[in-house]
Structure formats: C-alpha cells, structure tokens
Amino acid sequence: MRFSGRKKWAANFKKSSVKKLVKRVLSRFGLYVITGYKNYFFSNKKIVTAVIYGRKVLLPKAHSITYNLAHFPFYNSNLQRIVQSCRQYRQENFSIVDIGANIGDTLLMLREVTDLPVHCFEGDDFYFDLLQKNVSGIANTHLHKVLLSDKPGQIRVHSRISLGSSQFVSDDDKAVLQDFTSLDHFFLTHFPDEPIGVLKTDTDGFDLKIIEGGAATIRKNHPVIFMEYDRALFETNGNEGLRFFDFLEELGYSGLVVYDNYGKMLCITSLQDKPAIRALHAYIGKKNAALPFYDLAVFSATDATLFRAFVASELAFFEK
C-alpha cells in the first residue's frame, strides 16, 4: 500500500511538473493556460442532478450553471441586489418577470432574498419540463409556457439546445411554425393589473423583440430592466442594438449599469451618454473581445433616487 501510494504521488508530481514547464514555456511567447468550463458536446440533453442555491435540481450535463457558480463569486448576484434595492425604495409590493427561466435557477436565486411573486416564462418544451420539476412547491410562483416576441403571430423557428441554453433560430431546415405572443398581450389578457417592478430577460437574441413587445407594460410600470446584451445574437435576429438604446430612452429610461457576463460591474453611465453607448456596442462587435456580451441594468428616469442609491451600494459592494 505504501509503495502504491508513493507511485501515485510520483506520477502526480511528474504530471504537475510537466504542466508547470509547459505553462512557463508558453508564457515566454505571451500565451497563458487557464482552467475552463468543460464542453460536454454530446450531453446537451443528458440529465444529471446538482445542488444550486440550496436545492437539488435536474439539469443537462452540459449546463454551465454549476461551473459558473463555483468559479465566479458575483455570478447572478447583481439581480438579487437589484430586487433588494427595489423593495427598499418602492412603496408598494411588485412582481418580478423572469423571461428565459430555463431550469429555474433565477427563481431559486431570487428566493434567497425575496418571496415576491415571480412570473417565469419558458417557451422551450425541454426546459419547461425541467423548470416545472425544479421549482415544484415554491410559493408565489407562476410558470408560463409561452413564446414571446414583439407581436402575436406565428414564426417559423427551431429550438437549438446547446450548453444549457436554447436558442430559437429560423435558418434551420427543422424550423416549424410556432405561436408567439407579446408581453403586452399576455399581461393585458391574463394579469391586467399586475404591478411589475423588475423585468429580467435572457433569451439568446430575442430580448430586444420581447422588450419592444412589452412597451405598454413597461411604460405603465417602469420596471428595472435586467437583460443580456449580445450584439451578435441580436443582429442574427435582425435587431440593431444602438437603435434599441434609443427605444429605451423613448420609454423614459435613463440610468445604466453595465456588468460583464459573470456579474462583475464594468461601468455606470446613462442612455443619454451616446459616446459611451457606442463604445460599449462597438467593443463586443463580432465577439472578438475578452467579453462576448454584457448584462445591463436599466433604470427609468422616474426611479432616479433608486438608481443613485443602487449605484452607491454597488460601488461599495465591489470596493470591499
């Protein structure tokens, strides 16, 4: 046993020494090796179990959520702080809208800080099934198997599942006509008096169309909008990001906090600062930059006090 243990130690030491040598040689040429997320190429639909936010869930083996939570301490926590700030500065209770609910990870994360009503939208059959199973029994939760776009109608799409996400694409021979609705039509029909305080959307490129389809709901409630800004995916779906910033400004929005895709704050600006907006937009063009996309927190001009307080608390949080 002792000899076997020594052999194992020697093998590990040799392996470690080779790794260090390779890294040292590569560094001389300006190349660096970092540990990254394993891409389980053939496991997009293979289901495994994991514990996230204190709850056992079902998820595809290829899902990145467990890796992100283990390696990036700020991942998703910005949305928790947004909700907490809204609760502090808004007089009335409100609901949260989670578009692109996936396996329910956003809901589980939110339940660590609030029991406010959450409307979870997930249009993909595969992920909606996992969502139902993962959040079963959680109070004040509404699940909606609905596909959202800028207006009600039928669109020929196919759900392409990869790395724990689903992207609806039309340039695919598997695409079929599917029914879509708009956020405005949905809430007007089913929840006409619902007060919405936070709207989160992460739909791999459909986010701009979804927000455009919720213009009346947004004008009525002026929620804080927390969204993924992926220029390449937007342009694939026929959307232009810079025009979208103008659209948000027309809806009465102003304050903007920009995060990297792992939850760390990058900058604080406003929709009125056009050079800053253009620079952010240009940076992620063609995805040939260190960051592939941003997460944005956008605040209505009517929430100026909330925005100033949130910015102050975020600066304090990241300066610790």
Identify whether residues 294 and 240 lie together within a single domain: yes
Q: What pTM value is reported for the model?
A: 0.85
Residue 49 burial (10 A CB sphere; 0-12, 13-18, 19+): exposed
* Count of the separate structural domains present in the chain: 2
Identify whether residues 112 and 19 lie together within a single domain: no
Identify whether residues 28 and 103 lie together within a single domain: no
> Is the confidence at residue 137, as pLDDT, over 50?
yes
Show the domain range for 22: 1-34
Mean pLDDT of 121-131: 94
Identify whether residues 103 and 20 lie together within a single domain: no
pLDDT at 3: 47
Mean pLDDT of 287-309: 93
pLDDT at 234: 83
Identify whether residues 154 and 29 lie together within a single domain: no
Identify whether residues 151 and 291 lie together within a single domain: yes
Residue 237: pLDDT band (50, 70, 90) is confident
Residue 170 lies in a domain: yes
The enclosing domain of 268 has a CATH number of 3.40.50.150
Mean pLDDT of 170-182: 81
Alpha-helix residue ranges (DSSP H) falling in 199-250 = 207-212, 215-221, 231-236, 241-250
Give the whole-angstrom CA distance, residue 253 versus residue 250: 7
Residue 44 lies in a domain: no
> Residue 223 has what DSSP assignment?
P
Task: Name the nearest CA neighbour of 59 among 47, 41, 69.
Answer: 47
Identify whether residues 28 and 133 lie together within a single domain: no
Identify whether residues 23 and 108 lie together within a single domain: no
Residue 47: pLDDT band (50, 70, 90) is very high
Reported as a single tens digit per residue, the pLDDT across 68-82 is 999 999 998 999 999
pLDDT at 170: 67
Identify whether residues 214 and 288 lie together within a single domain: yes
Residue 49 lies in a domain: no
pLDDT at 309: 97
> Is the confidence at residue 166, as pLDDT, over 90?
no
Looking at per-residue pLDDT, the higher value among 45 and 247 belongs to 247
Identify whether residues 123 and 205 lie together within a single domain: yes
